[in-house]
Amino acid sequence: MKIYLSGPMTGYENYNKKAFDKAEAVLKEAGYEVVNPASLGLDCSWVECMKIDIGLLVTCEALYMLKGWRHSQGACLEHWLAHELGMEILMEGCEIGR
């Protein structure tokens, strides 16, 4: 299953890449194909980054929400979209399975 990582980035050191990379490793170990937006190294405006991220999100079957996502406008938007599209939504800290 292909899963997209979502969480707070703006205002975090290195865009919270350490947390995203840790989640990516855990999910890959569990057998998921992971789309990690923090690894893209994008240098663009928030709006342009969100357009790219949403394009990637809709190619996935599931969304994985990192802790603190509710404080991120982008992550809230991704969560809303995934919910509306009927995607499976997993939360960091909950048991993951395949």
What is the pTM for the complete model shown? 0.92
Picking from 94, 91, 1, 9, the residue whose alpha carbon sits closest to that of residue 50 is 9
pLDDT at position 13: 84
Average pLDDT, stretch 26-52?
A: 92
Q: Which CATH number fits domain 2-91: 3.30.479.10, 3.40.50.2300, 3.40.50.10400, 2.40.30.110?
A: 3.40.50.10400
DSSP 8-state class, residue 66: P
Strands, E assignment, the chain: 2-6, 33-35, 62-65, 88-91
pLDDT at position 78: 98
Average pLDDT, stretch 33-50?
A: 90
Residue ranges of domains in the chain: 2-91
pLDDT at position 67: 96
pLDDT in tens, 69-90: 999 999 999 999 999 999 999 9
pLDDT at position 40: 85
